[in-house]
Amino acid sequence: MHHTETRRPMKLLIRDVLRARHGRRDFLEHPSVAEIHRRLPDDLLEWFERVVIIERDPLTILCGPIDKSDWGYFEIWRYMRDRDYPDFDPDPDNGSDGDLDPENAALPYSPR
């Protein structure tokens, strides 16, 4: 039987991390934390490390993007980062023409 490695969907990785919070071992030891961290784009690394690893708040990464790809999660996490941790926003204009106020901007989708 030939085994092919499959890439687990981000939704399942997040679910595993949240379930591991109630386990016997520290949730940070769960391999899904490392896998999420490995997939993150550079602009989300510092935010993820602060929120999930330092502040130990994995519930922050729980969201429900319409686009269930990694990119869909990254976009919502960027919005959450910019809203809740503006000191981590590498581009305060969020790539817009400068007229968008991230604090009052409407999301094209709603996080859960």
What is residue 89's predicted lDDT score, i.e. its pLDDT? Answer: 64
Residue 25, pLDDT above cutoff 60: yes
What is residue 104's predicted lDDT score, i.e. its pLDDT? Answer: 42
What is residue 90's predicted lDDT score, i.e. its pLDDT? Answer: 67
SS3 letters across 4-67: CCCCCCHHHHHHHHHHHCCCCCCHHHCHHHHHHHHHCCHHHHHHHHHHHHHCCCHHHHCCCCCC
Residue 1, pLDDT above cutoff 90: no
The pLDDT tens digits for 47-104 are 999 999 999 999 999 998 888 899 999 999 999 999 999 887 666 565 443 433 444 4
Domain extent listing, the chain = 10-84
What is residue 93's predicted lDDT score, i.e. its pLDDT? Answer: 60
Q: What is the pTM of this model?
A: 0.74
Q: Is 87 exposed, middle or buried (0-12, 13-18, 19+ CB in 10 A)?
A: exposed
